[in-house]
Amino acid sequence: MSRHFDAIIIGTGQAGPSLAARFATAGMAVAIIERHKFGGTCVNTGCIPTKTLVASAHAAHVARRGTEFGFVVSGDVRVDMKRVKARKDEIAGRSNRGVEEWLRGLKNCTVIQGHARFESSDSVVVNDEILEANKIFINVGGRATIPEFPGIHDVPFFTNSSMIDLDFLPEHLVIVGGSYIGLEFGQMYRRFGSDVTIVEMGPRLIGREDEDVSDAVRKIVELEGIRIRLNAKCISLAKRDSGIAVGMECDEGPPEVSGTHVLLAVGRTPNTHDLGLDLAGIATDEHGYIIVDDQLQTNVPGVWALGDCNGHGGFTHTSYNDYEIVADNLFNADHRRVSDRIQTYALFTDPPLGRCGMTDAEIRKSGRATLAAKHPMSRVGRAIEKGETQGFIKITVDAETKQILGAAILGTGGDEVVQVLLDVMYAKAPYTVVQRAMHIHPTVAEFLPTVLSKLEPFA
């Protein structure tokens, strides 16, 4: 027995549900399959829960700074982790239920719960039933990478998925991995009241960023009492009476950090190993990412891969943009391409880092004539008024075309303000458009013209 659909979508991450709705509203029969929680990583174990927890941590942080702002909190500010978790559960749960109810309410859309596996290039099996379609879309996302550290099988550890469900405060949390996820959890738990040590294999935190950004972020988190260990080679885990020891070989510092709990935040692995891709003949790269072309088609005609599993993004907005690219190509004869998009993302520490376009390192490699400007947040009125003066604004511009090449805004509102520059980049307009525009006072964005007035040849 098999059922035939116009389209099958595997996974309900950030691309699948919108695509299902697009097919369904076009009057086509679509099946969408989810093996775990509706909404995938972002909704259940990623963006929404972590940003909700970051908000609780921020509130505790501001409360501790009460005297600076002129109010008194009697006694210590202590965090009730059960209530913090309940708030997170409520907010993330609402989104999870929203995705499920939306999909189940769609006419022409069949929602199936179970693990999908390819049987051939145009069929998948779920719960012993075969589903067929000429169009199949893979949106299976990824999971936390568990490296084969010596001792990993002998000790308990958290990943992002288990960490967001904590309803108690670890006394000393050791985080292995000093990139985006590790830093967000690190600052959050420090603000909740844990001792936090971050152990990073590379020579600096968030190694994908420019050195000045990494250094500034390091200073910000160290100022809050987070201990950082860099260049940690040969990491191992071992049980101790007091908890867990993370062993390492470093240039400086003791060869072991003991904590009560360990969080692994060392990267993501695509969920492609158990999809039966070989039976469909779908090619992956050496890391398991599904190989796609500029319009997200795999090497097998009629099969597309969207979101984290294709290795072209790693963010909610890149996955959603994948949906837009596929839908516009299929339904609107609008031949959008992955290569048209401009890199952009944020690190949601406090203050956040908003990024768009090229890093300085990428610009140097490109060898093009560039102008650059940098301005400290300590000289931005709005930041001073808010008492949040850490960080800087940095913008680079092509010396010939005057188009913006990249920006890093580490500072209050940086995640929002950077998008002023991003939109001008999409418009392929010169930076002078931003410089001549009148902005709202007092905001961080109103300083963009000031920063741009300081452009100088890039060193």
Ligand X SMILES: Cc1cc2nc3c(=O)[nH]c(=O)nc-3n(C[C@H](O)[C@H](O)[C@H](O)COP(=O)(O)OP(=O)(O)OC[C@H]3O[C@@H](n4cnc5c(N)ncnc54)[C@H](O)[C@@H]3O)c2cc1C
Binding stretches for ligand X (CB under 6 A) = 10-15, 33-37, 40-42, 46-47, 50-51, 115-116, 139-142, 160, 181, 271, 275, 307-309, 314-317, 319, 348
Chain residue whose CB lies nearest ligand X = 141
> Which residues pair with residue 396 across a beta bridge?
372, 406
Structure tokens at 49: 């829960």
Minimum distance between the CB of residue 145 and ligand X, rounded to whole angstroms? 11
Residue among 86, 83, 81, 99 at smallest CA distance from 41: 99
> Which residues pair with residue 374 across a beta bridge?
394
Minimum distance between the CB of residue 250 and ligand X, rounded to whole angstroms? 26
* C-beta of 253 vs 276, nearer to ligand X: 276
* C-beta of 183 vs 425, nearer to ligand X: 183
Could you tell me the strand order of the sheet in which 353-357 lies? 344-347, 353-357, 404-410, 392-398, 370-376, 456-457
Looking from the CA of 62 toward its CB, the CA atoms found within 13 Å total: 12
Minimum distance between the CB of residue 348 and ligand X, rounded to whole angstroms? 5
Q: Would you call 172 a catalytic residue per the annotation?
A: no
Minimum distance between the CB of residue 178 and ligand X, rounded to whole angstroms? 14
Minimum distance between the CB of residue 8 and ligand X, rounded to whole angstroms? 11
* C-beta of 197 vs 316, nearer to ligand X: 316
- Which of 4, 153, 335, 441 is the catalytic position? 441
Amino acid of residue 60: A
Structure tokens at 226: 């987070």
* C-beta of 179 vs 412, nearer to ligand X: 179
Minimum distance between the CB of residue 31 and ligand X, rounded to whole angstroms? 11
* C-beta of 311 vs 406, nearer to ligand X: 311
User: Token pair 């909740």 is at which residue?
Assistant: 192
For residue 304, CA distances in Å to 3, 6, 9, 11, 106 come to 20, 14, 9, 13, 22
> Which residues pair with residue 244 across a beta bridge?
239, 259
Looking from the CA of 125 toward its CB, the CA atoms found within 13 Å total: 10
* C-beta of 142 vs 177, nearer to ligand X: 142
Q: Are strands 344-347 and 370-376 parallel, antiparallel or unpaired?
A: unpaired
Residues 174/205, Cβ–Cβ less than 8 Å: no
Rg of the chain on CA atoms, in Å: 24
Active site (catalytic) residues: 441
